[in-house]
Amino acid sequence: MILVILETPISKAGLESLCCATKLGDTLTVGLVGAAAQEAANSIGGCGARFLAVEGEPYSVSRYATDAAAAEALIRASGAALAIAPCTHRWQRALPGVAQRVGGAIDTHAVDISPGSVRRWYYRQRIEVTLARAATPWIILREPGSGDPWQGVPAQATVERLDVTPPATRTQVEGIEAQAASQQTIRPDAALLFVAGAGWTKKQKDGAVRTSEASELILQFVNRTGASLGSSKSLVDQSGEGQAVLPFLTHLHQVGQTGSTPRHRKGLASCCHGEEPHVVGWRFVNERRAINLDPNCGWARGKADVLYVADAFEVLREAAKALGQPGAD
C-alpha cells in the first residue's frame, strides 16, 4: 500500500505526486495535512484512495514540528511501506526527520518512481542514479515538474481524521515574503528562463562599464517576455563584494551548483560564460540558447543548442524593439 502525503489545499506538485502514485499499481491512501481536509479530499475523491487527515489550525502552516508530527501519524496509521510526497520546501524540511523517527529510508528529488526503484541525480545533476531499497517505510519526495498532474474527477470522499495532539513548538510562522513578479527568480510558470551573467557589469569594448544600461535592458527584456530571471554566481556575488551591481539580483536568482535547478522549457543565457558549476543548474532546461562575445565559451561546447556570438547589449536593444509594447515595462 502506498501513502501519498499532501497539504491542503492540494498544489500542482501534490497532484503530480498523486498521479505518479496511481501508476504504481498498488492500493492508495492519501494523507492530508492542513486546516481542513474535506474539500481537498473531495477535489481528488475520484482517485479511489482511502483518505486519512491530520487537520486543524496548527497544521495549516508549514512548520517542522507540526508537519513532522502529522506525517509521522499518517505513516504509522496507514502502515504504508511506501510514502510519496512532493519535494517542496515543506515536505523536504519535515520528512527526513520523520524517516529518522519511524526508522525508515528517504530519497528526495526523485524524477522517476517505478515499482521498487527511484531515479534521481547525484553530484548536483551531474550523475544520474537509479536505486532500489529494502528498508521500510520508504519515503520518496518527488521533484515538482517531472510529470503530469492527476486529472481525475472530484467526488465526495470519506475522511478518517487522526487525533494528533499538536506538539509543543517554539516556532511561529510570521508570513511569506515575495519579490515583485517581474523580478522574481525562478517563477516556475514562466515559459522562459533568462539568465544574466557577470559580463553585464564588465568593461565593454568601448572601455566603459555600463551597469545602469544593463539593468534597463535586462528588466525591459524580462518584463516584455514574461521571462523568469536567473543569474550566475559571479554576478550575484558582486553585491557582497561592493562592486557595481544590478540592484535587483540576489542569491535567490542564482542558478547552478550552489543555486537553483529550474525547470523552464527554454533558457536564454546572456553575458554568462557557461562554466560547469553554472550549467549543472540547467539540467532540466530543454531548449538552451546563449549570447556571448566569446566563441569558445562553455556554451559552445555542447551546453547550448545555439550560441550567438554577439554583443548582448546590442541584441537586447534590438530585441526590445522587436518585442515592442514599451508601456509594458
Ligand X SMILES: Cc1cc2nc3c(=O)[nH]c(=O)nc-3n(C[C@H](O)[C@H](O)[C@H](O)COP(=O)(O)OP(=O)(O)OC[C@H]3O[C@@H](n4cnc5c(N)ncnc54)[C@H](O)[C@@H]3O)c2cc1C
List contacts with ligand X (CB under 6 A). Answer: 197-199, 202, 204, 232-235, 254-259, 271-273, 275, 277-278, 291-294, 297, 311-313
Distance (Å) of CA 299 to CA 42, 149, 191, 260, 262: 48, 33, 21, 19, 18
Nearest-approach distance from CB 21 to other proteins, in angstroms: 20
* 216 sits near other proteins (criterion: CB under 8 A): no
For residue 31, give the nearest of 105, 92, 86, 87 by alpha carbon.
86
Question: Of other proteins, ligand X, none, which one sits near residue 131, judging by CB under 5 to 8 A according to partner kind?
Answer: other proteins
| Cβ-based nearer residue to ligand X, 168 or 322 | 322
Nearest-approach distance from CB 277 to other proteins, in angstroms: 4
Question: Of ligand X, other proteins, none, which one sits near residue 117, judging by CB under 5 to 8 A according to partner kind?
Answer: other proteins
Q: In angstroms, how far is CA 96 from the centroid of its own chain? A: 18
Among 1, 35, 36, 105, binds other proteins (CB under 8 A): 105
HSE-CB at 258 with a 13 A cutoff on CA atoms is: 6
| Cβ-based nearer residue to ligand X, 63 or 264 | 264
| Cβ-based nearer residue to other proteins, 132 or 155 | 132
Q: In angstroms, how far is CA 318 from the centroid of its own chain? A: 32
The answer to whether the bond into 115 is cis (omega within 30° of 0) is no
Q: In angstroms, how far is CA 122 from the centroid of its own chain? A: 17
| Cβ-based nearer residue to ligand X, 31 or 256 | 256
- Residues 251 and 211: their CA atoms lie apart, in Å, by 18
- Applying the rule CB under 8 A, the residues between 282 and 301 that interact with other proteins are 283, 287-289, 291, 295, 299-301
* 50 sits near other proteins (criterion: CB under 8 A): no
- Residues 91 and 108: their CA atoms lie apart, in Å, by 10
Give the number of residues in contact with other proteins, rule: CB under 8 A.
104
The answer to whether the bond into 86 is cis (omega within 30° of 0) is no
Residue nearest to ligand X (CB): 199
Question: Of ligand X, other proteins, none, which one sits near residue 62, judging by CB under 5 to 8 A according to partner kind?
Answer: other proteins
Which residues, in sequence order, are CB contacts of 15 under 8 Å at separation 6+?
44, 149, 150, 151
Convert residues 9-28 into a mask of x (bound to other proteins by CB under 8 A) and - (unbound): --------------------
